[in-house]
Chain A
Amino acid sequence: MALLEIDNLKTWFHTRNGVVKAVDDISFTVEKGEILGIVGESGSGKSVTVHTLMGLVPQPPGRIEGGTATFDETDLLGASPEAQRALRGKRIAMIFQDPMTSLNPYLRISEQLIEPLLIHGLADRGTALNKAVAMLEKVGIRDAAERVHSYPHEFSGGMRQRVMIAMALITDPEVLIADEPTTALDVTVQAQILRLLKELQADLGVSVIFITHDLGVIAELADRVVVMYRGHIVEQGDVLSIFDQPQHPYTKGLLACRPRLESKFKVLPTVSDYLDETEVDGQVELSEKPDAAAHIESLQQVADPEIDENDLLLEVSGLQVHFPERAGFFSAPKGVVKAVDGISFTVPRGSTLGLVGESGCGKTTTGRAILNLVAPTEGSVQFDGREIAGFDAAAMLPLRKRMQIIFQDPYSSLNPRLTIEQALTEPMAVHGIGQHHAERRDRAAALLDEVGLDARFLRRYPHEFSGGQRQRICVARALSLEPEFIVCDEAVSAMDVSVQAQVLNLLKELQLRRNLTYIFISHDLSVVKFMADTMAVMEGGRIIEQGRAEEIYANPTEAYTRGLIDAIPRDSVSFIRERVE
């Protein structure tokens, strides 16, 4: 008998627009002491599945339409609310995606850590506190005895996720559910957290359900894998067979769409290269595209564009951005934060420069400073042979047409109160592109078409779109001014790998068609390597290494760069085989 057994579980949502079958008839088991990976994209039902187990599905609109979930011979779904509460947080614990918001900022870490112990009556205050300190040490927080009394804001994102893990494990649960616990983190921090989870699992013998959109993470961690798509389980099995011999076309697509450091793809394969969805009597049938293999083959044959390395569009030299630290209204500045501390690089026309580094290394500020969105403290920025550093808004205005930016979070980078039509036509109106509104609207429709969206979407508002669609709209908005140069600031970091592949392909395709020049900023070296011709690695406001992307990857000279490369989840079959055995 497995520790946790889910049979024919159905969780549906009854909304105004009809029934959404978020989880539709799924069955799987979790054995004692194993790590089960549930993988799927947003909307696949993976989160709803575990939320159902934890009783976190809002009812209504949600309703459990059928099925059972048996945990150690207790029916999780049918048990009384008291019995469920007694299990939750004590024998089944959960950690969430965003460590920044899942800790209460007003309570000390110590209070939050001992709360589960006190609630379940497992210890008195003194013992609970001792246990909290021991647990913090276990998750790798140094000086735990002192730091236990800190507030959450005194910890970095990775540290907070460690605290969350400590909080979940403090009651010695038998099952730990981790819902995308590393998605909001840098790759380097992700690698640390994954290592920690693996160690803790081996140490404590707890079963882990690990939910992610990224098969690479699964490869590092899981014993068995459940692949979910559209509320169904399309495939499940042990990790080696899923990676070595995926059966379902969706799994194949998911495996292929991840940019790999060693692969030669110029265009990334996407799930839709493998998967055919046909609707039969209102039911969606999934099947494999017959010519998938040949098509993938052809993707590797795409040739690189010719780049004239002497035709420089952007030349940055000695760029510095310092922010004063101020204590109060009347006090003099305390000191300066050197966000960018004297960096130089060049970008030839039609090429892509990748800026890579961890959070806080100054890569984002660099992008902003080039566009004069923050004022550079010193240094020169030459755009198409003209010095533009320190231009004010009026002087920048004609240049805005030529230089654009795309941001990380497609949810906050579109004004929720404007229709897509307004968002796309307003820049044209400001810059006097197009004679009248009708002409601008036609251009907006053409832009949507170019980024792969239906022109009928013009009337809609941003909240009606998915993250990937919104990012396409952001790309269309940046293109509305016909720029030559675009800064992509972590433009795909918030996306599922399957959506990420589509957006990366779109950006590459647009670059070829419009001869665009990019600065591509990311914390993920594998994405940068796919996109960029040249690469600059940043640490502490300085560039510590730069050159051709492939060369840096092949021969990193700095330990920091090495660390970035090592942090990328390894998902080769040989690696998994070695790990499993």
Chain B
Amino acid sequence: MITAEVNVQHTEGASLWSDAWRRLAQNRMAVFATFIFAVILLLCLMGPTLFGQHSSEANDLSKAFNKPSTTHWFGTDDLGRDVFVRTLEGGRISLAVGFLATAVSLVIGVVYGSIAGYAGGRIDSFMMRIVDILYSLPFTIFVILLMVMFGRNFILLFVAIGFVEWLTMARIVRAQIMALKETEFVEAARALGYGDIRIIFGHLFPNILGPVIIYASLTVPAVMLLEAVLSFLGLGVQPPMSSWGLLIKDGAEKIDVYPWLLIFPALFFSATLFSLNFIGDGLRDALDPKSSKD
């Protein structure tokens, strides 16, 4: 019976994740999007240091509203600051807020939703009523309340946004888990003596990755926009710090005369969103063995 050994040499590392990685690498659109996103990310991280001679602190009113040129690639703004460096600096904030808040909402939402959906019954009812109550809190008032209590704080912004975004994630995850836990492979897992944690995170979770990833990739831009709204209300990022949301808002006011103030931050913002969407789609397909092309 052990003669079967010969046939199974190439099984090393045959798991969902390694197979997903292989499939993702075959998806040209996703690879291209990943490349674009990596470039933007690197620029935002390194750029302000590399192009430090045009610091955003360096106000020079004599250079206000210069058109894009070889010294100032993206032109300058009303205070004579380099728009290129401003865009990269804004990117740091936007990406940080976007990803940290999404990560917070993802972790809380998935764990909370999985437990509620898997436990079912009274535990589920109780947990979901808490979510309903939190949903009913007006978001802006909630943030103002936090600001009043803890003072204005950058980190608080992530927490506040993540705290609101996880509610929807929890509902999505719960609904998916509830539908899945009735399937026979879950019952088979229980009959095989698997523990609840193993069933939830080893068996159910991989099956809901599709909708989770799609929702997460929609959360990132939503969070970035939310940050812009908060900043506009004076609750978020304050000058001289900036973010894409703020830059776009400022630029939009002067679009008739100084279009470069809007165009360049908006370009970075939309390129990021586009690439994130493609990466999200690619991940969803890659994590579904049925979409395999081989």
C-alpha spacing A412/B203, complex, angstroms: 13
Within 8 Å of chain A (Cβ to Cβ): is B290? yes
Within 8 Å of chain B (Cβ to Cβ): is A458? yes
C-alpha spacing A404/B122, complex, angstroms: 30
Within 8 Å of chain B (Cβ to Cβ): is A112? no
The smallest C-beta distance from B21 to any residue of chain A, in angstroms, reads: 14
Whether A396 and B188, one on each chain, are in contact in the complex, defined by CB atoms closer than 8 angstroms, is no
Whether A400 and B192, one on each chain, are in contact in the complex, defined by CB atoms closer than 8 angstroms, is yes
Which residues of the other chain, A, contact B203 by a CB distance below 8 angstroms? 415, 417-418
The smallest C-beta distance from B127 to any residue of chain A, in angstroms, reads: 12
Within 8 Å of chain A (Cβ to Cβ): is B292? yes
Whether B187 and A373, one on each chain, are in contact in the complex, defined by CB atoms closer than 8 angstroms, is yes
The smallest C-beta distance from A368 to any residue of chain B, in angstroms, reads: 8
Which residues of the other chain, A, contact B7 by a CB distance below 8 angstroms? 445, 454-456
Whether A417 and B16, one on each chain, are in contact in the complex, defined by CB atoms closer than 8 angstroms, is yes
C-alpha spacing A450/B10, complex, angstroms: 21
Whether A412 and B198, one on each chain, are in contact in the complex, defined by CB atoms closer than 8 angstroms, is no
Whether A461 and B5, one on each chain, are in contact in the complex, defined by CB atoms closer than 8 angstroms, is no
Whether B184 and A409, one on each chain, are in contact in the complex, defined by CB atoms closer than 8 angstroms, is yes
Closest to B198 in A: A430
Which residues of the other chain, A, contact B293 by a CB distance below 8 angstroms? 16
Whether A441 and B11, one on each chain, are in contact in the complex, defined by CB atoms closer than 8 angstroms, is yes
Within 8 Å of chain B (Cβ to Cβ): is A523? no
Which residues of the other chain, A, contact B69 by a CB distance below 8 angstroms? none
Within 8 Å of chain A (Cβ to Cβ): is B190? yes
C-alpha spacing A248/B4, complex, angstroms: 36
Within 8 Å of chain A (Cβ to Cβ): is B207? yes
Q: How many residues of A contact B (CB 8 A)?
A: 47
Within 8 Å of chain A (Cβ to Cβ): is B137? no
**Residue in A368, A421, A442, A456 whose CB lies within 8 Å of B2:** A442
Given contacts A329-B122, A461-B290, contact A373 B191 (CB under 8 A): yes
Which residues of the other chain, A, contact B288 by a CB distance below 8 angstroms? 417
The smallest C-beta distance from B185 to any residue of chain A, in angstroms, reads: 5
Given contacts A415-B203, A418-B16, contact A442 B5 (CB under 8 A): yes
Give the interface residue-count category, chain B.
35 or more
Which residues of the other chain, A, contact B191 by a CB distance below 8 angstroms? 371, 373, 400, 403-405
0/1 string, A415-437, CB within 8 A of B gives 1: 11111011000110011000000
C-alpha spacing A426/B195, complex, angstroms: 12
Whether A417 and B192, one on each chain, are in contact in the complex, defined by CB atoms closer than 8 angstroms, is no
**Residue in B16, B125, B188 whose CB lies within 8 Å of A474:** B188
C-alpha spacing A228/B185, complex, angstroms: 33
Which residues of the other chain, B, contact A477 by a CB distance below 8 angstroms? 188, 192
Within 8 Å of chain B (Cβ to Cβ): is A14? no
C-alpha spacing A407/B1, complex, angstroms: 26
Whether B184 and A419, one on each chain, are in contact in the complex, defined by CB atoms closer than 8 angstroms, is no
Which residues of the other chain, B, contact A456 by a CB distance below 8 angstroms? 7-8
Closest to B19 in A: A419
Which residues of the other chain, A, contact B287 by a CB distance below 8 angstroms? 417
Whether B8 and A407, one on each chain, are in contact in the complex, defined by CB atoms closer than 8 angstroms, is no
Closest to A410 in B: B184
Whether A481 and B192, one on each chain, are in contact in the complex, defined by CB atoms closer than 8 angstroms, is yes
Which residues of the other chain, B, contact A401 by a CB distance below 8 angstroms? 193
Whether A461 and B289, one on each chain, are in contact in the complex, defined by CB atoms closer than 8 angstroms, is yes
0/1 string, B177-204, CB within 8 A of A gives 1: 0000001110111111111101000110
Query: Which residues of chain A from 442 to 467 have a CB within 8 Å of any chain B CB?
Result: 442, 445-446, 448-450, 454-456, 458-459, 461, 463
C-alpha spacing A481/B194, complex, angstroms: 13
Which residues of the other chain, B, contact A449 by a CB distance below 8 angstroms? 1, 3-4
Given contacts A416-B207, A417-B16, A427-B192, contact A441 B289 (CB under 8 A): no
**Residue in A396, A415, A417 whose CB lies within 8 Å of B193:** A396
C-alpha spacing A371/B190, complex, angstroms: 10
Given contacts A409-B184, A415-B185, A417-B207, contact A441 B8 (CB under 8 A): yes
C-alpha spacing A430/B289, complex, angstroms: 24
- Number of residue pairs A-B, CB distance < 8 angstroms: 119
Which residues of the other chain, A, contact B4 by a CB distance below 8 angstroms? 442, 445-446, 448-449, 455
Within 8 Å of chain B (Cβ to Cβ): is A393? yes
Whether B192 and A463, one on each chain, are in contact in the complex, defined by CB atoms closer than 8 angstroms, is no
Whether A417 and B11, one on each chain, are in contact in the complex, defined by CB atoms closer than 8 angstroms, is no
Which residues of the other chain, A, contact B149 by a CB distance below 8 angstroms? none
Within 8 Å of chain B (Cβ to Cβ): is A255? no
Which residues of the other chain, A, contact B192 by a CB distance below 8 angstroms? 400, 404, 426-427, 430, 477, 481
Which residues of the other chain, A, contact B2 by a CB distance below 8 angstroms? 442, 445-446
Within 8 Å of chain A (Cβ to Cβ): is B206? yes
The smallest C-beta distance from B277 to any residue of chain A, in angstroms, reads: 23
Which residues of the other chain, B, contact A463 by a CB distance below 8 angstroms? 289-290
Within 8 Å of chain A (Cβ to Cβ): is B133? no
Whether B16 and A458, one on each chain, are in contact in the complex, defined by CB atoms closer than 8 angstroms, is no
0/1 string, A61-94, CB within 8 A of B gives 1: 0000000000000000000000000000000000
Given contacts A373-B187, A408-B184, A427-B192, contact A445 B5 (CB under 8 A): yes
Closest to B209 in A: A417
Most buried by A among B10, B11, B195, B202: B11
Closest to B5 in A: A442
Within 8 Å of chain B (Cβ to Cβ): is A413? yes
C-alpha spacing A420/B19, complex, angstroms: 13
0/1 string, A382-420, CB within 8 A of B gives 1: 000000000001001100110111011100111111110
**Residue in B5, B14, B193, B202 whose CB lies within 8 Å of A459:** B14
The smallest C-beta distance from B164 to any residue of chain A, in angstroms, reads: 26
Whether B188 and A417, one on each chain, are in contact in the complex, defined by CB atoms closer than 8 angstroms, is no
C-alpha spacing A568/B2, complex, angstroms: 43
Whether A450 and B1, one on each chain, are in contact in the complex, defined by CB atoms closer than 8 angstroms, is yes
Which residues of the other chain, B, contact A430 by a CB distance below 8 angstroms? 192-194, 198
The smallest C-beta distance from B166 to any residue of chain A, in angstroms, reads: 23
The smallest C-beta distance from A459 to any residue of chain B, in angstroms, reads: 5
C-alpha spacing A373/B184, complex, angstroms: 12
Closest to A459 in B: B14
Closest to B121 in A: A326
Q: Which residues of B contact A (CB under 8 A)?
A: 1-5, 7-8, 10-11, 14-16, 19, 122, 125, 183-185, 187-196, 198, 202-203, 206-207, 287-290, 292-293
Ordered nearest first, which 10 A-B pairs have the shortest CB separation? A400-B193, A455-B4, A445-B4, A413-B184, A461-B289, A417-B206, A407-B184, A446-B1, A412-B183, A427-B192
* Besides A329-B122, A400-B192, A421-B11, 15 other A-B contacts (C-beta < 8 A): A393-B196, A400-B193, A405-B188, A412-B184, A413-B183, A413-B185, A415-B207, A417-B289, A422-B15, A427-B192, A441-B8, A442-B5, A446-B2, A459-B14, A477-B188
Q: Which residues of A contact B (CB under 8 A)?
A: 16, 329, 368, 371, 373, 393, 396-397, 400-401, 403-405, 407-409, 412-419, 421-422, 426-427, 430-431, 441-442, 445-446, 448-450, 454-456, 458-459, 461, 463, 474, 477, 481
Give 18 A-B contacts (CB < 8 Å), ordered by A residue: A329-B122, A396-B193, A400-B192, A405-B188, A413-B183, A417-B16, A417-B203, A418-B16, A419-B16, A421-B11, A421-B14, A422-B14, A427-B192, A430-B193, A446-B1, A463-B290, A474-B188, A477-B188
